[in-house]
Every structure is written in structure tokens, then in C-alpha cells.
Amino acid sequence: ELVAYRNELKNLQRLKEFKWAYLYQNVLSNVRKNAVALFMIELLTKCLKQPEANAELFYFVEDALHHLDEANDAVTANFPLFFALHLAVFFGFRIADEYSENIHYIDLEEGRFVEAQPNHSHYLQDREAAAVSHILKIMQPRDLQEVALNQEMRRRITHALEEYYSLHIPDFGTMRTLPVLRELMS
């Protein structure tokens, strides 16, 4: 909680008072959780271009960080996927969960499940598409422990999600935290 004074004409801003709303127990000291938190922050930084109020996004991120702080290892490993998939809602390009036996490709350009393999290289299929569908159905991060993914599947999905964001957010670029995250989660 902050009392801050912001002046658009100055580079130096002023904080009058602050109070911790929540004291994190693990995010700062646990290397894996810290890497996931840094991934989340970088993803937000690349998506948010203008400083504008968005209470729903704030509460989503605050809740996600609280859940990450309390998460076990299985939940922590899947947390970047959960966060990236659910964050897209706030920017208007969420993947609608329409996965089935017949609709088992995710077209990353279109941001939806499709029946046939797209005519470009921006897609996920079969097991990765099924995993994304499963994570899209999860509303509480603690349920991520039900999603059994190996390191290679997580790597392919995180790479696809980075690609997905770069297709939908102008000047997104590449994420610097992903190689570190991949190494720590191995």
C-alpha cells in the first residue's frame, strides 16, 4: 500500500508512506519461484505499454504471486504456463478452449483451436494442445499439480506462448527470463 506523488514533468517521484500488504515467505528466497516471478514481471512489462489503471489485472497478478509463494514444486513448474495463458484475457487475445479429438491444433496466429494443421509454423498440436486445454480449464493455481508435463513439453509450450505473445503484442521481442527459467526447471 502506497501514498505516492507522481509528477509527469519530473524523473524523480516521491513516496510519502508505504506498508506491506503481504509478506512473501518463499518467492524471494526460493530460486525456482523467484525465476517464475521474474518471468511474470517481464511478461507484464512487455505487455503493458501505457501506465493506466486496471484493477482487475492488478488483483489477478497479486493473487497469482500469493499462490506462487505458497505453491509446491509441481505447481511452481507449471505456473509460468498458467500465468501466460490466463494473462492473455486482460489484453483481449485469450485462447478459447475448444479442444477435442477432432480439433487438436492451436493456431497461434488466430489464437484458437482448429481442426486442420495451419499453413504456417505458428501452432501447437496433439499432446501440447491437450496440455494447454487442460491448463485453460484450471481456475485455481493449486490444481496445476494435476497437470503432468515433462520438461520438454513445458519448454515447447513456453516457447509457443512467447511466440503467441509476440504475434499479438507489437514490439514484444524475446524474453530474457525464459532461458534461465528453462534451466532452473530442468
- Strand pairing partners for 15? 4
What residue spans of 48-144 are helical by DSSP H?
A: 55-70, 73-87, 126-137
Q: How far apart are alpha carbons 62 and 47 in whole angstroms?
A: 17
User: pLDDT tens across 107-117, in order?
Assistant: 999 999 999 99
Which residue, 177, 132, 176, is CA-closest to 157? 132
**Chain mean pLDDT for the chain:** 92
User: pLDDT tens across 60-101, in order?
Assistant: 999 999 999 999 999 999 999 999 999 999 999 999 888 988
Give the cell for residue 121: 509454423
Q: Strand 123-125 vs strand 2-5: parallel, antiparallel, or unpaired?
A: unpaired
- Taking only the tens of pLDDT, the chain with its 186 residues reads 778 787 777 777 788 888 888 889 999 999 999 999 999 999 999 999 887 888 999 999 999 999 999 999 999 999 999 999 999 999 999 998 889 889 999 999 999 999 999 999 999 999 999 999 999 999 999 999 999 999 999 999 999 999 999 999 999 999 999 999 888 876
| pTM reported for the whole predicted model | 0.89
The phi, psi pair for 95, rounded to 5°, reads -80, 120
Q: How far apart are alpha carbons 49 and 46 in whole angstroms?
A: 7
